[in-house]
Amino acid sequence: MTAPAHDHAARHDPVYDRLSETSEFKELRRRYRGFVFPATVAFLAWYLLYVVASMWAHDFMSQKLVGNINVALVFGLLQFVTTFALAYLYSRYSTAKLDPLARELQESYEANGSNGSTGRAI
């Protein structure tokens, strides 16, 4: 017999509860969301533009640019470029803005995880 779902939720580290209430943790979440949400919306809009243009702007998408390379092929290849560009930008953003704060929180967690108290208020 399995344990009810609420029992699983009750079994977590209380140190996480304290950390999640700190201003540093909230700032980390704010910074993360500040990049991820707009980037996701922008990428999905760009992707949907490609799909919609492929379906309803056939004349535009089939225009030849160079030889047999048309607008649709260029847009399709740009989807890959966009994906790698977003991954690169996120890596840089994370390294500069998220990782230092995450390291600080991890150090605080490790310090509080063993005995539950440090000189730092959580």
Q: 54, 50, 60: which is closest to 81 by C-alpha?
A: 50
User: What pTM was computed for the model?
Assistant: 0.74
Mean pLDDT, each 10-residue run in order, the chain (122 residues) = 57 76 93 97 97 96 96 97 97 97 88 54 48
CA angle, residues 6, 7, 8, in degrees to nearest 5: 90
Taking only the tens place, the pLDDT of each residue in 36-57 is 999 999 999 999 999 999 999 9
Give residue for tokens 């740009």. Answer: 78
